[in-house]
Amino acid sequence: MTVDGRLKSNVRHAISSTLVLEDRTFALLPPSLRSHVEIAWLPEGYRDAAKFLAGRPDGITIVTAFFDVDRKNWGYHESEVSTKYQRSIDYYLGCFRHMAAIDNDMIIFVPPDMVEDVREARAAHGRLERTVILTIADFFACPEVARVVNVVGAELTERFRDFVWRPTAPEFNKPKYVSLIALKPTFAATAVDLGLVRNRQLAWIDFGYVRSPDGIDASREWRFDFGQKINFFNIFQIDDEPLYDIVRRAEAYFQAGHIVGPAQEWTKLRALFDEALSALIACDLMDDEQTLMLMIYRMHPERIRLRRHGIDPVYDWRFIFRRFQTGLNPVDQDLPPMPRSNAPAWFRDLKTFVRRRLRRVARQISH
Tally of residues, the chain? 367
Terminal alpha carbon distance of the chain:
44
Write b or e for each residue in 213-244: b if 16 or more Cβ atoms lie within 10 A of its Cβ, otherwise e: eebbebeebbbbebeeebbbbbbbebeeeebb
Domain that holds residue 14: 3-366
Mapping DSSP onto H, E and C, the string for the chain reads: CCHHHHHHHHHHHHHHHHHCCCCCCCCCCCCCCHHHCEEEECCCCHHHHHHHHHCCCCCEEEEEECCCCCHHHCCCCCCCCCHHHCCCHHHHHHHHHHHCCCCCEEEEEECHHHHHHHHHHHHCCCCHHHEEEEECCCHHHCHHHHHHHHHHHHHCCHHHHHHCCCCCCHHHCCHHHHHHHHCHHHHHHHHHHCCCCCCCEEEEECCCCCCCHHHCCCCCCCCCCCCCCEEEEECCCCCCCCHHHHHHHCCCCEEEEEEEEEHHHHHHHHHHHHHHHHHHHHCCCCCCHHHHHHHHHHHCHHHEEEEECCCECCCECCCHHHHCCECECCCCCCCCCCCCCCCCHHHHHHHHHHHHHHHHHHHHHHC
CA atoms within 13 A on the CB side of 175: 14
Average pLDDT (166-192) is 96
Confidence of residue 96 (pLDDT cuts 50, 70, 90): very high
Confidence of residue 365 (pLDDT cuts 50, 70, 90): low
Average pLDDT of the chain to the nearest whole number: 89
Confidence of residue 316 (pLDDT cuts 50, 70, 90): confident
Range with lowest mean pLDDT among 3-12, 90-99, 183-192, 223-232:
3-12
In the predicted structure, residue 13 carries a pLDDT above the cut 50: no
In the predicted structure, residue 314 carries a pLDDT above the cut 90: no
Give the DSSP letter of residue 122: H
* Residues 112-153 pLDDT 10s: 999 999 999 999 999 999 999 999 999 999 999 999 999 999
Helix (H) or strand (E) holding 121: helix 115-123
More confident position, 82 or 333:
333
- CA-nearest of 189, 200, 224 to 320 is 224
Average pLDDT (311-332) is 89
The count of domains in the chain is 1
In the predicted structure, residue 15 carries a pLDDT above the cut 90: no
Average pLDDT (253-280) is 96
Per-residue model confidence (pLDDT) at position 19:
39
Per-residue model confidence (pLDDT) at position 366:
65
- CA-nearest of 135, 137, 178 to 155 is 178
Per-residue model confidence (pLDDT) at position 79:
67
In the predicted structure, residue 65 carries a pLDDT above the cut 70: yes
Average pLDDT (287-297) is 97
Per-residue model confidence (pLDDT) at position 2:
38
Range with lowest mean pLDDT among 25-39, 167-181, 293-307:
25-39
Confidence of residue 338 (pLDDT cuts 50, 70, 90): very high
Per-residue model confidence (pLDDT) at position 342:
82
In the predicted structure, residue 93 carries a pLDDT above the cut 90: yes
32 neighbors 109 (Cβ within 8 angstroms):
no
In the predicted structure, residue 4 carries a pLDDT above the cut 80: no
What residue type is assigned to position 272 of the chain?
L
Distance separating alpha carbons of residues 22 and 271, to the nearest angstrom: 10
- CA-nearest of 193, 197, 201, 195 to 222 is 201
Distance separating alpha carbons of residues 300 and 19, to the nearest angstrom: 8
